[in-house]
Structure 1
Amino acid sequence: MPGLLSAMEGFCVIGIVIAVGYAAARLRIGGPDAQMVLNKFSFFVSSPCLMFAILSKEPIFDIFHPSIIVAFFSAMLVGVAFLVLNRMYFHMKAADAIIGSLNSLYLNSNNIGLPVATYILGNPALVAPILVMQQAVFTPVGLTALDIATTGKASAKRILSQPLHQPLLIGSLGGIVVSAISAHIGWFPIPDFIYDPIQMIGNSAVPMILMAFGMSLHGTKPMQNATDRTATIVVAVLKNVIMPIIAFLLAYFVMGFRGATLYACVVLAALPTGQNVYNYAARYNVGLTFARDGILLSTLTSPIIIAFIAAVLD
Structure 2
Amino acid sequence: MPGLISAMQGFCVIGIVIAVGYVAARMRIGGPSAQMVLNRFSFFVSSPCLMFAILSKEPIFDIFHPSIIVAFFSAVLVGVVFLVLNRMFFHLNAPDATIGALNSLYLNSNNIGLPIATYILGNPALVAPILVMQQAIFTPVGLTVLDVTTKGKVSIKEIAKQPLHQPLLIGSLLGIVVSAISAKSGWFPVPKFIFDPIDMIGDSAVPMILMAFGMSLHGTKPLQQKGDRPAIFTVAVLKNIIMPIIAFLLAYFVMGFRGSELYACVVLAALPTGQNVYNYAARYNVGLTFARDGILMSTMTSPVFIAIIAALLS
Q: TM-score, normalised by structure 2?
A: 1.00
Q: What residue in structure 1 maps to residue 219 of structure 2?
A: 219
Q: What residue in structure 2 maps to residue 266 of structure 1?
A: 266
Aligned-partner SS, 2:296: helix
Aligned-partner SS, 1:305: helix
1:18-59 Cα distance to aligned partner (Å, 9 max, x none): 000000000000000000000000000000000000000000
- Does 2:112 match 1:112? yes
Using the alignment, how far apart are the partners of 2:99 and 2:290 within structure 1?
8
1:127-158 Cα distance to aligned partner (Å, 9 max, x none): 00000000010000000000001011110000
Aligned-partner SS, 2:154: coil
Q: What residue in structure 1 maps to residue 137 of structure 2?
A: 137
Using the alignment, how far apart are the partners of 2:163 and 2:177 within structure 1?
16
- The Cα shift of 1:117 comes to 0.1
- Does 2:231 match 1:235? no
Using the alignment, how far apart are the partners of 1:273 and 1:128 within structure 2?
16
In structure 2, what residue type is equivalent to 1:181? I
- The Cα shift of 1:181 comes to 0.2
Q: What residue in structure 2 maps to residue 79 of structure 1?
A: 79
1:244-273 Cα distance to aligned partner (Å, 9 max, x none): 000000000000000000000000000000
Q: What residue in structure 1 maps to residue 295 of structure 2?
A: 295
List 4+ stretches of structure 1 deviating above 6 A: none
- The Cα shift of 1:60 comes to 0.1
Q: What residue in structure 1 maps to residue 49 of structure 2?
A: 49
Q: What residue in structure 2 maps to residue 16 of structure 1?
A: 16
Matches within 5 A, 1:36-185: 36-185=36-185
- The Cα shift of 1:114 comes to 0.1
- The Cα shift of 1:86 comes to 0.3
- The Cα shift of 1:82 comes to 0.4
In structure 2, what residue type is equivalent to 1:28? R
Using the alignment, how far apart are the partners of 1:5 and 1:44 within structure 2?
34
- The Cα shift of 1:63 comes to 0.1
Using the alignment, how far apart are the partners of 1:103 and 1:305 within structure 2?
17
Q: What residue in structure 1 maps to residue 245 of structure 2?
A: 245
- The Cα shift of 1:170 comes to 0.1
In structure 2, what residue type is equivalent to 1:307? A
In structure 1, what residue type is equivalent to 2:39? N
Using the alignment, how far apart are the partners of 2:158 and 2:84 within structure 1?
28
Identity of aligned residues (%): 84
In structure 1, what residue type is equivalent to 2:19? A
Using the alignment, how far apart are the partners of 1:272 and 1:111 within structure 2?
10
